[in-house]
């Protein structure tokens, strides 16, 4: 009788779980859909805000973006923004929309590209803090040995990005390589007569569905009471807050819920080879629209030895490539018009190049060795946890110092 009762109870539990899962999936889809709508509104709102502010402070922005040290300022600002906000996707999309808005009201296109490309390079580098936070979040569930063993996996993402960004930044400063490629892409689009198609896409999707019914009326109401300059500042603060809320609290939370429900088993079996690790990282980051989500999900895998350090490198390379072609980034490229496409092409080239160099070529051993060396240096210190925090803070302190120096030159 007792055995029969346990079978009945088990059947009831299974039936309950089957009813809960569809509801949970529907809630996750609802969060994602709401987040996407707010994300689109926020990009349009930020672009409108920058147009208003730029029209009032044109000389100030031109002095920063058009200065001789603009590439260094852009690189440092990109690292800092991405480190503080932990969303390179949001930072890059915002930058593309903002620069395209400045171009629309008078900023020279070449100047925007010269500043925007180093900014994108920096944004790719500055997302280390999320991995550190994730490691500390699971610290109570790990032993001291597991915590220490995971530290090289936390920094390996930074090592390959540091090498990749350093190489491209040197090429950009010395030869203008990425700027020339971006300008060539813009020229091809113009010669092919596709510029009008991009503008038409922007008009159809953004203006009709978002700007006209939402952004326009709000801008008019605020300008009536506050004036153009203050309205621009309010728009930037308001819509950037909405953007972070949409990504972190709606899209990311909904996608994490879906991943935990449907993908957890697949991810745990997806580190058998470098190709499978790469595809896993690409898939998770493309679906979530954030490389930060993808790389942070790797940390518990490393701590529990589901993934090895050797498999971590192709995984984070997949995450990096996916974030250049996820739906939010593609939307940002097209919403930014020709300027957006040009800057987006540089973003894609940067990460495609990283896959060939750090996954295929003999240089792939370099990020691994650097991660092991830096990780061992942190572990061997008297207070490994504090050393790891200090390492992460470098991505805030160093860019701040560079910004202070460049503004004094």
- Using 50 as the pLDDT threshold, list the residues of the chain that sit under it: 1-5, 7, 9, 13, 16-18, 20, 197, 199-202, 204
What's the token pair of residue 311? 């498999």
Residue 141: predicted pLDDT: 64
- Within 10 A of 62 (CB to CB), how many other CB atoms are there? 16
Residue 200: predicted pLDDT: 44
The structure's pTM equals 0.72
The alpha carbon of 147 is separated from its chain's Cα centroid by a whole number of angstroms, namely 26
85, 179 Cβ separation under 8 angstroms: no
Q: CB burial class (10 A; 0-12, 13-18, 19+) of residue 228?
A: middle
Residue 4: predicted pLDDT: 47
Distance CA 303, CA 254 (A): 24
Residue 207: predicted pLDDT: 62
Please report which helix (H) or strand (E) contains residue 297, including its range: helix 291-303
Distance CA 44, CA 41 (A): 5
Residue 170: predicted pLDDT: 92
- Counted residue by residue, the chain has a size of 409
Residue 388: predicted pLDDT: 83
Residue 71: predicted pLDDT: 87
From 287, 286, 284, select the one nearest 300 (Cα to Cα): 284
How many CA atoms lie less than 13 Å away from 73 in the CB half-sphere?
Answer: 20
């Amino acid at each position: 009788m007792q055995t029969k009762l346990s079978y009945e109870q088990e059947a009831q539990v299974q039936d309950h779980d089957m009813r809960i899962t569809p509801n949970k999936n529907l809630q996750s889809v609802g969060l994602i859909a709401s987040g996407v709508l707010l994300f689109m509104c926020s990009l349009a709102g930020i672009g409108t805000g920058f147009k208003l502010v730029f029209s009032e402070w044109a000389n100030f922005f031109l002095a920063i973006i058009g200065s001789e040290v603009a590439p260094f300022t852009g690189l440092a600002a990109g690292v800092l923004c991405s480190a503080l906000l932990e969303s390179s996707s949001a930072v890059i999309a915002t930058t593309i929309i903002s620069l395209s808005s400045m171009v629309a009201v008078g900023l020279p296109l070449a100047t925007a590209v010269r500043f925007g490309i180093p900014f994108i390079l920096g944004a790719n580098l500055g997302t280390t803090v999320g991995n550190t936070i994730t490691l500390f979040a699971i610290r109570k569930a790990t032993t001291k040995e597991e915590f220490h063993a995971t530290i090289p996996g936390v920094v390996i993402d930074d090592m390959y990005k540091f090498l990749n960004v350093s190489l491209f930044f040197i090429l950009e400063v010395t030869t203008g390589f990425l700027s020339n490629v971006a300008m060539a892409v813009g020229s091809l689009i113009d010669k092919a007569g596709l510029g009008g198609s991009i503008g038409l896409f922007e008009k159809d999707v953004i203006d009709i569905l978002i700007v006209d019914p939402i952004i326009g009326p709000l801008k008019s109401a605020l300008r009536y009471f506050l004036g153009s300059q203050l309205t621009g500042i309010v728009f930037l603060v308001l819509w950037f807050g909405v953007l972070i809320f949409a990504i972190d609290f709606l899209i990311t939370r909904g996608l994490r819920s879906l991943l935990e429900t449907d993908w957890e088993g697949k991810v745990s079996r997806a580190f058998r080879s470098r190709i499978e690790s790469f595809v896993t990282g690409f898939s998770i980051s493309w679906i979530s629209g954030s490389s930060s989500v993808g790389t942070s999900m790797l940390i518990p895998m490393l701590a529990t030895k589901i993934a090895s350090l050797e498999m971590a490198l192709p995984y984070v390379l997949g995450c990096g490539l996916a974030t250049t072609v996820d739906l939010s980034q593609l939307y940002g490229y097209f919403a930014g018009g020709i300027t957006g496409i040009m800057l987006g092409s540089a973003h894609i080239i940067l990460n495609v190049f990283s896959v060939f160099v750090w996954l295929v070529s003999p240089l792939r051993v370099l990020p691994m060795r650097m991660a092991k060396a830096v990780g061992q240096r942190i572990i061997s210190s008297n207070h490994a946890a504090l050393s790891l925090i200090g390492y992460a803070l470098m991505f805030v302190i160093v860019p701040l110092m560079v910004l202070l120096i460049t503004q004094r030159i």
